[in-house]
Structure 1
Amino acid sequence: MTQPDNPHRRDFLLGAGAAGFAIAVQPVIAQQVITTPDSGLVTGMSSTRASDGRALPLYSARPDKPGKPPVVLVVSEIFGVHEHIRDVCRRFAHEGYLAVAPEMFFRHGDPAAIGSVQEIIERVVSKVADAQVMADLDACVDWAREQGGDVKRLHATGFCWGGRVTWLYASHQPALRSGVAWYGRLDGVPSELTPLHPLDVVDSIHAPVLGLYGGQDQGIPNSDVDAMRAALKKSTSAAARKSDIVLYPDAPHAFHADYRPSYRAGDAADAWKRCLAWMAANGQ
């Protein structure tokens, strides 16, 4: 059922970001490997009012039955809320969640209408402030509450760009019960709009986060994963110490993206099971 600064520094950041994403973004497979039906679900586009007064577009999926489902925020890659992200929302909905995927880039352009990764980063992603992202996710929590979602059982997950955001949101939102970060960047050069990275916020994490990473990810070195593991282990935050990282030795970046050649069915299936188990164990 469906319802309707410094230029040299800037260039360095854009180049580094583009290199990391370009490695992951290869020619798209014509059809997704996994297609999740919306039978038994309520799905569709909607919007909520953001902190700046703008209408924030979002896609949602939930079971078509009475009750207050737990809520999961689904944060996209740099490509926005395309069909794969919507499909992930439907997968969560079939597991009993109200899944909400906001269009985080709507103020700056539609990534789907831009021809290259470099252009997406320069024209859209580089203009998005972490503070605005946190506020937009908070607005989605308010929307989910208004729609009857149980925000006392609030979770967040994200892929690539959204994986980094998931770590940051676990530091920002005290009500979060768990996070699952799929191959999100852990470290980087600070900028005015992105002043902190996951390694910087470990001691302020409010909810345990499961990190899912590929050992062959050329954009996120294993040394960053090792550093994050060590930081979590010695953190002053109890939630951080409960966090965990799974590294799939042979997996590349975006191994869950079943519409790209980077997809690794076995690792993706295992990671999805771990994702669901993690959320259930931390307050489904």
Structure 2
Amino acid sequence: MPAPNPLLGDLARRGFMMTSLMTGLTLAVPHGASAQVISTDTQGLSAGEVQVPVADGRMPTYYARPEGAGPFPVVLVIEEIFGVHEYIKDTCRRLAKAGYLAVAPELYARLADLSKMTDAATIVRDVISKAPDATVLSDLDSALAWATTEGRGDASRLAVTGFCRGGRNTWLYAAHNAKLKAAVAWYGPVAGATSAIQPRTATDVAAELKAPLLGLYGAADTGIPPATVQAAAEKARAAGKTVEIVVFPDAPHGFHADYRPSYRKEIAEDGWGRMLAWFKKYGV
């Protein structure tokens, strides 16, 4: 197991609030009539929950990969604010059907039992704002280590993708891990408030990206102005980094989330194809 991480502080003393992943979909958002929940089977796959060693214990994590010996290219899947619920698990299975080992750690397991939380604003206030970025990055490192040592993943073909808050953390992780080959951020905030435990925004780290990054955003996303995303991309490009931003007209925030009213099927499928092409272009 990794050595204790002093950055965890009170979180390490608290222990884990979630020792296993939730079942079904999050209770924190309405599942509207325009949602079209996708259900991907496990035929030809190995998939399920594992306990990944992290600095202060074991983190519940979902994985999916093709059957066989591998090694398989690896994609870290970073959750939204709602936890590793069925939507994130299904995203992992979709990636596995495309030939990847997909790994989604429950990054907020120390802070709350997200399976019982019913209000998004409360989750942001009581969970997301209290998750140190340093701990999130360390946990993602641990998930990647599990993928390449225990999960039959190929350490030379590594990528990351994430949604909403996970999209923001995709920017941060792409600036953190030099082993990555590619990153895809789905509507990840690039600005916003900072704090002692979350000291930098995606824009702040844009010039430090260590992997080519594709950003998938919606023009109708009221919380993420496209101009701020383009400014982050320009900062990265000025530093010699490879960044491509796609802004889909009329797409709201959460357009890939098939369980929510924000889902836009054609745009989600377009973005998915662009993501897979990005991975392939950069060797994952």
Question: TM-score when scaled to structure 1?
Answer: 0.87
- Quote how far apart the aligned CAs of 1:112 are: 2.4
Secondary structure, aligned partner of 1:201 = helix
- Quote how far apart the aligned CAs of 1:244 are: 0.5
* Unaligned 5+ runs, structure 2: 1-27
Which residue pairs with 2:255 in the alignment? 255
State how 1:53-64 maps to structure 2 within 5 Å.
Answer: 53-64=56-67
Deviations 1:193-229 (A, max 9, x none): 1100111112211001100000000111122122123
State how 1:182-193 maps to structure 2 within 5 Å.
Answer: 182-193=186-197
Deviations 1:105-151 (A, max 9, x none): 00011222112112111221111000000000000111011122102
Q: Which of residues 36, 42, 50 in structure 1 aligns to 2:40? A: 36
Q: Is residue 270 of structure 2 the alignment partner of residue 270 of structure 1?
A: yes
Note if contact 1:26-1:261 (Cα within 8 Å) is conserved in structure 2: no
Q: Is residue 171 of structure 2 the alignment partner of residue 167 of structure 1?
A: yes
Note if contact 1:32-1:84 (Cα within 8 Å) is conserved in structure 2: no
Could you say which structure has the higher helix fraction? 1
How far, CA to CA, are the matches of 2:222 and 2:77 in structure 1? Answer: 24
Q: Is residue 106 of structure 2 the alignment partner of residue 103 of structure 1?
A: yes
Aligned-CA RMSD value: 1.4
Range with greater deviation from structure 2 (40-49 or 27-36)? 27-36
Deviations 1:40-95 (A, max 9, x none): 000000011112x2211100000011220000000000001000000000000011
Task: Return the letter of the residue paired with 2:42.
Answer: D
- Over the matched positions of the two proteins, sequence identity in percent amounts to 47
How far, CA to CA, are the matches of 2:123 and 2:192 in structure 1? Answer: 19
How far, CA to CA, are the matches of 1:81 and 1:170 in structure 2? Answer: 21
- Quote how far apart the aligned CAs of 1:166 are: 0.3
Task: Return the letter of the residue paired with 2:254.
Answer: A
Secondary structure, aligned partner of 2:115 = helix
Which residue pairs with 1:94 in the alignment? 97
Note if contact 1:212-1:246 (Cα within 8 Å) is conserved in structure 2: yes
How far, CA to CA, are the matches of 2:54 and 2:29 in structure 1? Answer: 33
Secondary structure, aligned partner of 1:262 = coil
How far, CA to CA, are the matches of 2:217 and 2:113 in structure 1? Answer: 27
Note if contact 2:29-2:118 (Cα within 8 Å) is conserved in structure 1: no
How far, CA to CA, are the matches of 1:226 and 1:279 in structure 2? Answer: 21
Which residue pairs with 2:221 in the alignment? 217
State how 1:66-77 maps to structure 2 within 5 Å.
Answer: 66-77=69-80
Question: TM-score when scaled to structure 2?
Answer: 0.87
Divergent runs of 4+, >3 A: 29-32
Which residue pairs with 1:197 in the alignment? 201
- Quote how far apart the aligned CAs of 1:37 are: 0.6
Task: Return the letter of the residue paired with 1:256.
Answer: H
Range with greater deviation from structure 2 (224-233 or 111-120)? 224-233
- Quote how far apart the aligned CAs of 1:29 are: 3.6
Secondary structure, aligned partner of 2:84 = coil
Q: Is residue 140 of structure 2 the alignment partner of residue 142 of structure 1?
A: no
* Unaligned 5+ runs, structure 1: 1-24
Deviations 1:229-248 (A, max 9, x none): 3223312xx3x2x2111000
- Quote how far apart the aligned CAs of 1:26 are: 5.3
Which residue pairs with 2:159 in the alignment? 155
Note if contact 2:175-2:205 (Cα within 8 Å) is conserved in structure 1: yes
CA separation of 1:153/1:250 partners in 2, compared to 1, >3 Å: closer, same or farther? same
How far, CA to CA, are the matches of 1:266 and 1:216 in structure 2? Answer: 15
Task: Return the letter of the residue paired with 1:40.
Answer: G
Task: Return the letter of the residue paired with 1:74.
Answer: V
Task: Return the letter of the residue paired with 1:56.
Answer: M
Range with greater deviation from structure 2 (68-77 or 190-199)? 190-199
